[in-house]
């Protein structure tokens, strides 16, 4: 049984999918079950920081990765930043060379953020 907004990765080809409709089936890619990614929330023991930092702005919110800016090199970068806000999801895809941050022009009572690092996986705040 899958759940809405879960993120799965294929251990063979690297495909990553996000659930936009949950059901009873198992997700399969390259003839193998896909791996459910669990978001890390604690980078306090690591030199490199990945936990999203959410700040209010005039237009909405800005999400920075992380408390010390994450590298954005071709071999190691943040692929996307997502926020879940009052039941809606918003995502910004990033490229090497971009700033490791995203601004979303929204107003919501409940905001959580997630990001995906190509080397270190899924993180949340």
Residue nearest to Fe ion (CB): 117
Rounded Cα–Cα distance for residues 91 and 103 (Å): 10
Residue nearer to Fe ion on the CB measure, 79 or 86: 79
Residues 6 or more apart whose Cβ sits within 8 Å of residue 95:
72, 77
Binding of residue 81 to Fe ion (CB under 5 A):
no
CB neighbours (10 Å) of residue 63? 24
State which of positions 83-122 bind Fe ion (CB under 5 A). 117, 119-120
Per-residue x/- marks for Fe ion, 9-48, CB under 5 A?
Answer: ----------------------------------------
Closest CA to 67 of 84, 86, 88, 46: 46
Q: State the minimum distance, in angstroms, from the CB of residue 123 to Fe ion.
A: 9
Given the rule CB under 5 A, which residues bind Fe ion?
117, 119-120
């Amino acid at each position: 049984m899958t759940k809405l907004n879960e993120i799965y990765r294929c251990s063979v080809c690297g495909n990553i999918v996000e659930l936009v409709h949950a059901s009873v089936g198992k997700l399969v890619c390259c003839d193998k079950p896909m791996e459910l990614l669990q978001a890390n929330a604690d980078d306090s023991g690591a030199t490199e920081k990945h936990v999203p930092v959410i700040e209010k702005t005039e237009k909405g919110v800005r999400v920075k990765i992380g408390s010390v800016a994450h590298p954005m090199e071709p071999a190691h970068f943040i692929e996307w930043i997502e926020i879940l806000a009052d039941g809606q999801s918003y995502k910004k895809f990033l490229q090497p060379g971009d700033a490791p941050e995203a601004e979303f022009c929204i107003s919501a009572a409940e905001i959580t953020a997630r990001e995906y690092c190509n080397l270190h996986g899924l993180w949340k705040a």
